[in-house]
A and B are shown apart, each in its own frame.
Chain A
Amino acid sequence: MTTIRRFSCNDLLRFASVNLDHLTETFNMSFYMTYLARWPDYFHVADGPGNKVMGYIMGKVEGQGESWHGHVTAVTVATEYRRQQLAKKLMNLLEEISDKIDKAYFVDLFVRASNTPAIKMYEKSYPFLRIGCWTSGPTGAFQRNAGAFSGRYSTLLSSILACNMQAVVFLLLGYVIYRRVLRYYSGEEDGLDMRKALSRDVEKKSIIPLKRPITPDELEYD
């Protein structure tokens, strides 16, 4: 039960119950407002009945030529509304805007490369996967807490055990690991640059994985 609409400044005063979660970063005002001022189509909030904030997504569109792409900066869902596929809906919306409005070639995001032992457990025990809070960028963090994905993907899981849970979740949403960025997170942990091709990239060139890992200096965008 979700009304997804553009995020507004007043929502900053309403999102406490989402942001109290320890993994959801509360950025400074200029960060939020820069996103709102520059990419308002990429910043959406989901309202539930009783006008409660269920979660939100932040992103942007950037790049030149064939690297013109949408980027997901953060997705988060309040504890109360996890396991309802909300994160997926928010991601789909961002992809649609990148595709239809901005005619981008792909959407990308960064996840931590650390492996977690939880995958087998998910595969065995749960008919769905969960995504709760996830923030990209070197200071980002991730939590596999909520949202739910249908069990029809479970067979896929066994083939992607080498990835971490966040990567798994995004793989199920159609993202591929495009490249590894060495020591991307605070100079310590590698990041995975994941991409999903959009309709404009007819030949799906944007998602052909790079063979060698790159360093953060080689990244074209933040």
Chain B
Amino acid sequence: MASKFGLAGGIPERRVRPIWDAIDSRQFKNALKHSTSLLAKCPNSPYALALKSLILERMGKSDEALSVCLNAKDLLYKNDSLLMDDLTLSTLQIVFQRLDRLDLATGCYEYACSKFPSNLDLMMGLFNCYVREYSFVKQQQTAIKMYKLVGEERFLLWAVCSIQLQVDLDHDHVEWLQRILIAGSDKFVINALLLACSNLDCSKNLQYAKPRSNLLKVAAVQQSDLVSVELPEHFLDVFCGNGGEKLAMLAEGLLKKHVASHSLHEPEALIVYISILEQQARYGDALEILSGKLGSLLIIEVDKQRIQGRLLARSGDYATGADIYEKILELWTAVTYNPDDWECFLHYLGCLLEDGSSWSNGVHNDPINPQKSVDCKVSQLPDEVFHSRISTSLAFVKKLQADTSDDFIRCPYLAILEIERRKQLHGKGNDDDIVEALMLYFLKFGHLASFSSDVEVFLQVLTPDKKTEFLAKLMKTLDSPATVPTKALGQSITIFKIQELTGNLYKVPVLELESCAVQMVKMYCKSLPLSKDLDPQESMYGEELLSMVCNVLVQLFWRTRHLGYFIEAIMVLEFGLTIRRYIWQYKILLLHLYSHLGVISLAYEWYKSLDMKNILMETVSHHILPQMLASPLWGDLNNLLKDYLKFMDDHFRESADLTFLAYRHRNYSKVIEFVQFKERLQRSNQYLVARVETSVLQLKQKADNIEEEEDVLKNLNSGVHFVELSNEIGSKTLTFNEDFHSRPWWTPTTEKNYLLGPFEGLSYCPKENLVRNFIDLLLYTKEREENVRRVVEKKSLLPRMIYLSIHSASASLKESVEENGSISGSKISSELKFLLEHHAKMLGYSLSDAVEVVMGVSSGVKSFEAFGSDKIDWINFAVFLNAWNLNSHEPLQPDRDQCGRGIWHVVDTLLVKYISEKIKSMESLVCSPRVDLPILVQLVTEPLAWHGLVIQSCVRSSLPSGKKKKKGGSMDQHSSLVLNGVRDSIQSLCDILKEVAKWIRGQIDRSEDESVENILSSLRKKEQDERPGRVFHVLESLIPSINEAEHGGRICQELKTWSALDVARKIVTGDSTLLHFVPALGAASDLELLPYLSATERVEWIVQALHRWTRSLP
């Protein structure tokens, strides 16, 4: 801060200090007082003004802050004699940045630098401005100027990083420009390119202009004066050639020259130098540099060796590469454990077998979901050579085994399995050898929790018979268990896990499977005393068993459809959490069980207890977000979305400053990483979905009041931005950052839930493996991407369609819409028709065909199945179609009635029929999970609500406004037909809502005790029949035998609080809590009372409102 208190713009420190002190202690009023008196003395000081604007901004007075800030800027520009110091500029910069006007801040620094071209502080400030704007070309130019000025290595590297960033540009921009260049007219292309250069710094993309280069070259030069941007220095160079290559050469040239005159002094600079050479496949040159004087910059020898190994392998010198990796693996000291370095071993083996797969930085290798095993090629080596190399590797691995005494070094043992796998890939393998190697590995490490995930990829290469053989051998080891109890327990758990992994559990009959679960839960009970003295924060022995029991019970439910098994799974996990409440694995399973049961409020409770925050919201919220989007828990959903978007937006805001921090600390590789990471998050599919859904949620929440809905729409710019988003999304490459590894087997992705379909047996097993190989991964990602695009595309049309529907409805009763003064009835009609066509296209139909489908389903000619999986979208379509039809002079269908009443009827029928269908399908909770509840909620809160808005709009427009009278004749006839439609529609909504209310009342009125009893009785097994309850019985009978001496005080204490009755009651209460939310749909104003009313009261209230409207109609 010392510099801050120097002379700033000529103001002595003592005058400024009280202002900063007040700002720092958040006493803004006080700060403003000091600032006013300072300005009285120095009215023309830009710094004093900058301080005032800073205070105003902190007080939330953005407009005033901007105006004062602009004054300060003008003063700086006008008066050359004023001191243009970094302190004033950086203060202005802070304010401009907080006001989202980075351009103004950059402008100030640009001006200052043009006035004082040799002031390094100002140039660094300018560089920082360009970093904030992701303006890589300008960063590069500024860094080069600084480098020329002082010759420091760091500025050269700043320039090189800026070049690197241009090379690594976002694919999105490349794709976008490709599209423009293919489709656009020449003038358009030029403008797009200029825009790209000025705003996006996409100079790399200019390479795609090559086919038109001559024309563009001329046009660019001719037009450059028309556009107020300066062409980047190498605009035309890049224009005509391969930009990426040229840029890499430019970066290399700069470094080479500097090295010749000054050498390099920072290890990070060397790393950047090598990576630039590597990018150009100049491995030999890179190796030479590394083994020369510069190599000594890498102090830790192994770091250097790893790079050497990689370069050698990539250059094809496998023999030397293998030697290097061998050396690395042999390094074993008190603090270095290289024999355990699995990746290094894979590289070693890759070199020996002359297979470079593990170094190819394939574009498809997702850094977030990397492949589980090396996707190696079938070796091209002649058999003899192959055998000899395999023998070499085996001998080396044995030597490593002998040399390392540590019991925790697993690599040399697992290496045997990898060698066997490679042999098999070469066609020389032997399943027996693999089984033997697996057994040896089990005997050494079978007690470790990581055993099954260690060997997962090796099990996959075995035939089903061999898997069974391996399992049988494992079972045999149980005859002579390990003497240490924890070790014996670990081995037993491993065997269960292997059974799960090989799919064995999906083959056995139901009773046997149930016995297996009983065995697991007995083992859990038996192992409890082992944990008697552990701290509650500490993982207990055998904790995994209950997760596995849950998995088996859910499978039993899937196979038998006995809900009791499902409830039993819940009980088991709740029991486990009673003993130790921190087990996140149980919580995730439970939240999915409750979600499937339709008790989303309990699912959300468990989600909250996981305390997901910051980056985990991006990777882990998939567990709850999709369910919440379809739930009526709007308050919770709103918090979920708000927190997530805040986290992401905060990151986007601060990311550039952190990037600059990396520049300042000379960690150049992090600079590139930070920029790429921000891009990755910005293209997150979840982020996109959350943005759209937040707006849809606001619309749902306010749909009961047309005026409030109109306010929401106004804030959403009448939905225009979202239509743009919908148009743009096709060209966006989305990223998928969700971590699906923690999802349960029955719902391995957000789109899949096996429990909704019939038992598929082994067809799904072993556990769905999303990343088995990259072809699967690619296909899966592509499929998800398409899916998300479709959803977002459709959803983002919603706000605009709602807006247009409201206006279309009122325009049908008035001649034109005067609101906002711009949009006329015919414009509404044509735009809405265009969007309907778009919507129909997304459903796979032309507009007229889609109308046919809707009519067909409504009239009963077709079933709802004709809508496929997009039923809500179809009903939405019908709602908007009706709204359009009200104000359209085009006949909807030839030979159909022309007044629109027919479509009113279609919408009403669709809503009534589908809602009734859903109500009927949902019997009581204890009979089946309530999977239809979210659909009912969606129906009522989306299409029905939008339809309610159309009705509200009609009602409002029909009320006498005192303005001009409507024209007589046909208009009056039209109006009365519309109003008839409204009346009928209201009646039909009333009827169906009453039906919903009746159903809800039926659910709520059921005695709580009766529901609880139903749940508990589903667990009580009677004699020998095939019914759930055996597992639960084991846990229940454990309670009386619990004693302090054996199980420890804590476990005893916790178990005293266990009550299955409480859990059952929680489920019932959670379920009815949810039902209270369902009819939060309103259809009239003045709804403040709603939250305080019961579900049925609400519905009744809404029905009354609807009746009132009917009465108010002319």
Contacts and interface: CB of A to CB of B under 8 A. Distances in A.
A157 interface: no
B615 A29 contact: yes
A37 interface: yes
Given A3-B341, A3-B343, A100-B299, 17 more contacts: A1-B414, A5-B343, A29-B651, A30-B654, A33-B661, A40-B667, A50-B373, A80-B449, A81-B450, A82-B449, A84-B410, A92-B335, A96-B300, A96-B335, A101-B299, A125-B533, A143-B537
Interface in A1-44: 1-5, 8-10, 12-14, 16-17, 19-23, 26-30, 32-34, 36-38, 40
B539 A82 contact: yes
Contacts of A32: 615
Nearest to B366: A10
B615 A13 contact: yes
Contact of B677 (A9, A79, A100): A9
Interface stretch (B699-707, B735-743, B1092-1100): B735-743
A17 B616 CA distance: 10
B370 interface: yes
Contacts of A81: 449-450
A10 B408 CA distance: 28
B663 to A, nearest CB: 9
A10 B538 CA distance: 29
Interface string A68-89: 0000000000011111110001
Q: A-B pairs with the 4 shortest C-beta distances?
A: A9-B677, A37-B662, A3-B343, A92-B335
Interface string B612-652: 11111011100000000000000000000000000100110
26 contacts: A1-B410, A2-B411, A3-B344, A5-B343, A12-B615, A13-B618, A13-B739, A17-B741, A20-B584, A23-B537, A27-B614, A29-B615, A34-B661, A37-B662, A37-B665, A48-B453, A49-B414, A50-B454, A80-B453, A82-B539, A96-B300, A96-B335, A130-B538, A143-B537, A143-B538, A145-B538
Interface string B248-283: 000000000000000000000000000000000000
Contact of B584 (A22, A52, A101, A132): A22
Contact of A1 (B340, B618, B654, B674): B340
Contacts of B548: none
B535 A116 contact: yes
A10 B367 contact: yes
Contacts of A21: 584
A47 interface: yes
A118 interface: yes
Contact of B454 (A12, A23, A49): A49
Contacts of B367: 8, 10
A33 to B, nearest CB: 4
B539 A36 contact: no
Contacts of B616: 16, 19-20, 26
A93 interface: yes
A181 interface: no
B341 A16 contact: no
Nearest to A130: B538
Interface string B321-362: 000000000000011110011111000000000000000000
Contacts of B537: 22-23, 143-145
B219 interface: no
B371 A8 contact: no
Contact of A51 (B337, B371, B611, B651): B371
A167 B670 CA distance: 34
A119 to B, nearest CB: 11
A148 B454 contact: no
B411 to A, nearest CB: 5
B453 A52 contact: yes
A9 B673 contact: yes
B127 to A, nearest CB: 16
A89 B667 CA distance: 25
B151 to A, nearest CB: 25
Contacts of A8: 367, 673
Contacts of B673: 8-9, 36
Contacts, number: 176
> Chain B interface residue count: which class?
35 or more
Interface residues of A, number: 62
A28 B342 contact: no
A100 B453 contact: no
Nearest to B675: A9
Given A17-B742, A37-B670, A79-B539, A2 B340 contact: yes
Contacts of B533: 118, 121, 125
Contact of B610 (A3, A20, A80): A20
A108 interface: no
B411 A37 contact: no
B179 interface: no
Interface in B270-309: 299-300
A29 B654 contact: yes
Interface string B582-593: 101000100000
Query: Which of B368, B408, B588, B618 is most buried by chain A, counting CB atoms within 10 A of its CB?
Result: B408
B457 interface: yes
A193 interface: no
Contacts of A101: 299-300
Contacts of B658: 29-30, 33-34, 37
A51 B372 contact: yes
B369 to A, nearest CB: 8
A190 interface: no
Nearest to A143: B537
Contacts of A28: 614, 650
Contact of B457 (A14, A50, A144, A146): A50
Contacts of B651: 29
Query: Which of A14, A50, A95 is most buried by chain B, counting CB atoms within 10 A of its CB?
Result: A50
B453 A16 contact: no
Nearest to A133: B537
Contacts of A132: 538-539
Contacts of B449: 79-83
B448 interface: yes
A51 B370 contact: yes
Nearest to A99: B335
Given A22-B584, A26-B613, A27-B614, A80 B300 contact: no
B539 to A, nearest CB: 5
Contacts of A5: 343
A22 B582 CA distance: 6
Contacts of B370: 51
B342 A84 contact: no
Contacts of A26: 612-616
Query: Which of B450, B654, B741 is most buried by chain A, counting CB atoms within 10 A of its CB?
Result: B450
B456 interface: yes
Contact of B342 (A49, A85, A116, A118): A49
Interface string B181-204: 000000000000000000000000
Nearest to A165: B535
A84 B538 contact: no
A42 to B, nearest CB: 11
A4 to B, nearest CB: 8
Contacts of A52: 453
Nearest to B370: A51
A148 B410 CA distance: 15
Nearest to B665: A38
Nearest to A97: B300
Given A26-B616, A50-B373, A51-B371, A148 B342 contact: no
B118 to A, nearest CB: 28
Nearest to B658: A33
A122 to B, nearest CB: 9
A10 B373 contact: no
A45 to B, nearest CB: 12
Contacts of B539: 79, 82, 132, 145-146
A80 B497 CA distance: 13
A12 B684 CA distance: 14
Nearest to A148: B408
Contacts of B665: 37-38
